[in-house]
Amino acid sequence: MRDDKGAGPSTPENGIVLAGEPHKRTNRRQVPALAGCVLCALGGVAAYFLQPAASLLVGLGALAAGAGRSKALKALLAVCTLALAGLGGIAFGVAGIPDALICCGIGLASAFLVDEGKMTSGVACIAVAAVAALLLGAGELVAQAQGMTLSAQVTGLLDQYLQAMGSAAGLTAADTSLVEHLVGLLWPVAYTVTALLEFLCAYAGAAFAAQRRQSPRVEAPRFAEFDLPLWVVAIFVASVAGLAASLSVPVLSGDPVLMVMGTLLLSLRFAFAAQGFAVLVWVVQRRKASSAAFALALVAAAYLEAQFIVMSIVGLLDVWSNFRRLPRGKKVTVQDGPMQQ
C-alpha cells in the first residue's frame, strides 16, 4: 500500500492486504459516501435481526463513507452507527443491545483497519478472538440478569433437545450422556463460529468497497497471500500441551481445563484451515486453472476438511514449511509478498 501522494511504500506485516504487484485501477463506480452512511444506519437496525448481514452492511458502508477521511470524521461515523444500534434496543429489546453493538463494532473496525492497511492475518485472528470473548461476556451478562448462568442455559437447552430428539434418533442413555458431556465442554466454540462469521461478513463488505475505490490508498485484499503469524502456532502447541497435561496430571484434571484447551484447539482449527485454503488458492492461481476446476477444488477441499481436517493440517504445515515461499521475516513493500512475525 502506498501513501496518499504515492511517494513511497508503507510496511505492513502479514499479507491480507498486500499484493504481489501494484493493483491496476479500473473505472468501477465507487459506493458514494452518503450511501455508505445509509448502509451503516441499516446495519445498526439489522443488528437486532441478522448479525452477519449487519456486519457486512456496516463494513461496506463504513469504508465507503470513511476511507481517506480524517480520524475525527471516522470517529463521528462510528459514534453515530453505534448510537443508532444502541437506540434500537428501545424498539427491539434491551437484551439485544450488547450483540448489536458488538456486531456493528466489528464492521467498523474491519473497515477502518482495511482503510489503514493494517488488516493483517494476526490482526484478523485477534479480532475474531476479541469478538468471541465479547459475545461470550454479553451472553453471560444477559443470563445473569435472568438469574442464571450461561452454562446452565446451554445445559438446559441441550437437555430439552436430547429429550425431544433422543428417542427419534435411537440414542441410548450412554450416547446421550456422552453427547451432553462433550457439548457441555465445548459449547464456547459456538461463539467462536459466530464471531468468525460476523468478521468474515464485515471483512467481505470492506473488501468489496475497497475494490470499488480508485485511490491507491486502499488496496483490495488477496487471500492467496494469507499467512498466519508464528504466535498462533505457539498457542496451538501450548493448547496441545495443556490438553495432554489435563488428561495425565491429576492436579490439572477437570472440566474447566478441558473446556479451555478444547475450545482453543477447535478455534485454532479455523485459522489453520484458512491458511490451508490460501495454499489451495495459490496453487490454483499458479496453474491458471479454469473457474470450473477452481470450484471443484474448493468443494473437494471443503469435504476433506469437514471429514478429515486435511486443510487444517496443510495450513499448519505451511506455517512451518512455507510452501508458497513467502518472504517472511523482513520488511516488505507493495511489490513484495507478506511477511510472517
**What confidence score (pLDDT) does residue 71 get?**
92
Q: What percent of the chain has pLDDT over 70?
A: 84
CA 191, 120, 36, 64: dihedral to nearest 10 degrees? -170
What CA–CA distances, in Å, run from 31 to 52, 70, 77, 206, 212? Answer: 20, 18, 16, 11, 7
d(CA 178, CA 230): 35
Measure the CA–CA gap between 222 and 207, rounded to whole angstroms: 10
Express each pLDDT in 6-42 by its tens digit. 443 333 444 444 333 334 444 456 778 899 999 999 9
Question: What CA–CA distance (Å, rounded) separates 204 from 230?
Answer: 25
Q: In this predicted model, what pLDDT tens digit does every residue of 44-60 receive, in sequence order?
A: 999 999 999 999 999 99
> Residue 117: pLDDT above 60?
yes
- Asked if 52 and 197 touch (Cβ cutoff 8 Å), the reply is yes
Tell me the H-state helices in the chain: 33-46, 51-66, 71-92, 97-115, 121-145, 150-169, 173-186, 189-212, 230-248, 255-286, 291-308, 310-321
Q: Mean pLDDT score of the chain, rounded to an integer?
A: 86
| pLDDT reading at 130 higher than 50 | yes
Report pTM.
0.85
Please give the pLDDT value at position 222.
80
- Asked if 2 and 219 touch (Cβ cutoff 8 Å), the reply is no
**What pLDDT, in 10s, does the model give residues 144-157?**
999 999 999 998 88
Please report the pLDDT score of residue 282 as a whole number.
96
**Overall average pLDDT of the 208-229 stretch:** 76
Question: Quick one: pLDDT band at residue 220, thresholds 50, 70, 90?
Answer: low
**Tens digits of residue pLDDT in 321-332:** 999 999 886 544
10 burial type by CB count under 10 A (0-12 exposed, 13-18 middle, 19+ buried): middle
Position 35 scores a pLDDT of 93
Convert the pLDDT of each residue in 178-209 to its tens digit.
Answer: 888 898 899 999 999 999 999 999 999 999 99
What pLDDT is stored for residue 3 in this prediction? 38
Strand partners, 9: 2
Q: What is the pLDDT of residue 216?
A: 52
**Structure-block grid coordinates of residue 136:** 461470550
Pick the range with the lowest mean pLDDT from 9-13, 261-265, 289-293, 298-302.
Answer: 9-13
pLDDT in tens, 69-80: 899 999 999 999
Once rounded to an integer, what is the mean pLDDT over residues 83-97? 94
> What is the mean predicted confidence (pLDDT) over 134-146?
94
Question: Is 100's pLDDT higher than 90?
Answer: yes
